[in-house]
Structure 1
Amino acid sequence: MMEAMMTEILFSELTDDGKVRNLVGHERGEDARGKWMLDHLDCDEEAIDVVIPNELLTLSSSFFQGMFAQSVKKLGKDGFLTHYRFQASAIVMQQVAEGIRDSLMKRSALG
């Protein structure tokens, strides 16, 4: 019997085995969104494990929004956190929470 494959997003693929400690920049986040085809994963019935290595110190709000803002808006905060199950340090989880909050903020045309 075949066991279903658990889908994982492994941030270690972005951190060069711990050499990169900070992920910043909206465009870099958008690149990561494309790398893992999140538009497709948003519709997946299975939950997605997002594994962030402890060596990562900073997941900037701009990076988070580039990667996940569309997903947060589509799924809502609770749906997003149920669908994308983050495994990360307490500090990075705080940054994830900030990224979710920023993704849901209404911004005026003037910024």
Structure 2
Amino acid sequence: MQEMTIDLNAVTGTKHIRNLSGKERGIAARQHFCLDSIDGQPGTVEVRIPEYVDTISPSFFQGLFSQSIAALHGKDAFLKKYHFIVNEQQKRWVDVGIRNATSSRQSLV
């Protein structure tokens, strides 16, 4: 099984951006990493969030990953494919992002 790596350092301007926010920026990051293609490929994806990133807004996370969660048919399959390498603070932001992306109100937006 092939493993890929997504390093969000590529979208932080090499330590200039400490807060990842905005759905549009998340969508741009999704396009940068070609996630539509990756979602359909076998294997796992390691997602690395640099230590210097303080905040990942739910809107950024949804722009980046909500289509992946939908394509993989939910949270469990998403977390089997995407493995997050994060610190404890970032893990909380990831958990909030997943929760928001899988909430029933998301279908209304």
Deviation for aligned residue 1:5:
6.5
Identity of aligned residues (%): 38
SS at match of 1:44: coil
Question: Where do residues 58-97 of structure 1 align in structure 2 (5 Å cutoff)?
Answer: 58-75=55-72, 76-97=74-95
SS at match of 1:9: strand
- Structure 2 CA distance, aligned partners of 1:49 and 1:64? 15
* Cα RMSD for the two superposed structures: 1.7
Unaligned runs of 5+ in 2: none
- Map of 1:46 onto structure 2: 43
Question: Which portions of structure 1, spanning 4 or more consecutive aligned residues, are displaced by more than 2 angstroms?
Answer: none
The 10-residue stretch of structure 1 (94-103 or 71-80) with the greater mean CA deviation from structure 2: 71-80
- Map of 1:35 onto structure 2: 32
Deviation for aligned residue 1:72:
1.2
SS at match of 2:51: coil
Aligned residue among 7, 22, 42 for 2:4: 7
- Structure 2 CA distance, aligned partners of 1:5 and 1:44? 9
Between Structure 1 and Structure 2, which shows a larger proportion of helix residues? 2
SS at match of 1:7: strand
Alignment size in residue pairs? 107
Task: State the AA in 2 paired with 1:57.
Answer: D
- Structure 2 CA distance, aligned partners of 1:56 and 1:30? 18
Whether the aligned pair in 1 keeps the contact of 2:56 and 2:90 (CA below 8 Å) is yes
Whether the aligned pair in 1 keeps the contact of 2:2 and 2:42 (CA below 8 Å) is no
